[in-house]
Amino acid sequence: DVKVTQSSRYLVKRTGEKVFLECVQDMDHENMFWYRQDPGLGLRLIYFSYDVKMKEKGDIPEGYSVSREKKERFSLILESASTNQTSMYLCASSPYAGTSGRLSSSYNEQFFGPGTRLTVL
Amino acid sequence: KNEVEQSPQNLTAQEGEFITINCSYSVGISALHWLQQHPGGGIVSLFMLSSGKKKHGRLIATINIQEKHSSLHITASHPRDSAVYICAVSYGGSQGNLIFGKGTKLSVKP
């Protein structure tokens, strides 16, 4: 059974603290994603990674950084947490679709972790 | 930039009712995804389709590529169907990025 795990379900931090959110997948997927989800705004992409040590900014990268030292692990870092970073954080992974030949749409299926509800006081 | 619009935003139904959730998008895609998120946060993929119709149990997903529109139907709805249903689209790129709708919150009353 495929699995994406996140280090915490609930987390409470203080303003200014450095926060690490960890995500691990056991499916040998190349692509990994970090989203935040807020009421009325849906899922918004923070950062994604398509290979070890590679990262790309998503739609809302400000205030966040990421690290991907190993294929199975993708970390989201809040350098100095602020109250507007209180949110649900979701990690996802998907396999690499390849660049040659006909792409299968099945390779775009993303597998999600259970989410981390972060509160910054 | 592709926009993904879902309707309705909120939906309350009585147990047993037939439910339809709609999704529209603005530019061509390679696939459309329907996702389900139960209270507590975890998201699971229900369907991924690029044409026609797919069925799984009481759930049916359809897509009309020409009209850039998809529907998710739930027959004989049950309180355990209460969840947020999210539509997302992809373009088939190797990195697999998805564009998400804002979700439809469904509540099925017994």
- Is B42 in Cβ contact with A112 (below 8 Å)? yes
Residues 6+ apart with CB under 8 A from A96: A29, A30, A31, A50, A107, B94, B95, B96
Kindly report the nearest CA distance between residue B102 and chain A, in angstroms: 4
The mean pLDDT value for B2-24 works out to: 95
pLDDT in tens, B31-72: 899 999 988 778 999 999 889 999 999 999 999 999 999 999
Note the pLDDT of residue B90.
83
pLDDT band at A65 (very low <50, low <70, confident <90, very high): very high
What 3-state class would DSSP assign to A78?
Answer: strand
Average pLDDT over residues A49-61: 91
Residues B68-93, mean pLDDT to the nearest whole number: 92
What are the pLDDT digits (tens) for A88-113?
Answer: 999 999 887 654 333 444 456 889 99
Of A68-72, A98-102, B62-66, B85-89, the least confident: A98-102
- The tokens 């190349």 sit on which residue? A30
Distance (Å, whole) CA A103 – CA A105: 6
Which pLDDT belongs to residue B91? 73
Measured between CA atoms, how close is B64 to chain A, in angstroms? 17
Give chain A positions within 8 Å (CB) of B43: 90, 92, 112, 115
- Spell out which residues of chain B touch residue A68, defining contact as CB-CB under 8 Å: none
Q: Helix, strand or coil for residue B81? A: helix
Which of chain B's residues have a Cβ under 8 Å away from the Cβ of A31?
95-96
| Side chain identity at residue A33, one-letter code | F
> Quick one: pLDDT at residue B63?
95
